[in-house]
Amino acid sequence: MEAITAKFSVEDYHKMIETGLLNYRHVELINGLILEMSPEGTEHTYIGETLADYFRRLTQEIAWVREARPITLSLSEPETDIAIVCLPHSRYRSHHPYPEDIYLLIEISNSTLKFDTSEKRDLYATANIQDYWVVDVKNRKLIVYRSPVNGLYENETRLSLDSQVSLLAFPDINIKVNDIFNR
């Protein structure tokens, strides 16, 4: 007998949350599957907090910065480490950001690098997220994915500490890769 995996819709997932079924569980919905999330290490948390605060200063009054909060895709509701989304903030009172609300997604990867650069990358490309960054903590690099076409990113750039990058939505905002790791 072959095992068959049960998949859940975003609506089913929300019902489970509302009933308390997932209380005290650190999970996210990825392609219809409810996955346990890895606990954050101290360096992951530090980089996430400082980077989110940095982006808040840089995008004040032009975008909203969400930290470790869900976004809603067709069959998924991942909790990205950082999401820079459209204003006004009040639009997210009744729903999490949809792909069209998202300027930039950032995952901070220490133990999850393979997942973030494969399954999550493909998930975000399929959702047509234009700008997706992976902070590779162990190797001190920034991986930038852009130009999604038919569920795949056409552009992948690996940046070292001495590089700079601009947000696709805000080309005047330049980020030094070194500042991601050394703030």
d(CA 151, CA 126): 4
Going from the C-alpha of 71 to that of each of 3, 4, 6, 181, the distances in angstroms are: 30, 27, 22, 25
The answer to whether residue 98 scores a pLDDT higher than 80 is yes
> Quick one: pLDDT at residue 38?
82
> Quick one: pLDDT at residue 3?
77
d(CA 109, CA 40): 10
Cβ atoms of 170 and 59 closer than 8 Å: yes
pLDDT by residue (tens digit) across 54-79? 999 999 999 999 999 999 998 999 99
d(CA 110, CA 181): 13
- In three-state secondary structure terms, 92 is helix
> Quick one: pLDDT at residue 182?
83
Mean predicted confidence (pLDDT) in 137-145: 96
* CATH number listed for the domain at residues 40-181: 3.90.1570.10
- Phi and psi torsions of 180, nearest 5°: -65, -40
The answer to whether residue 137 scores a pLDDT higher than 90 is yes
The answer to whether residue 160 scores a pLDDT higher than 80 is yes
The residue type of 175 is I
pLDDT mean across residues, the chain: 93
pLDDT by residue (tens digit) across 142-154? 999 999 999 999 9
> Quick one: pLDDT at residue 25?
87
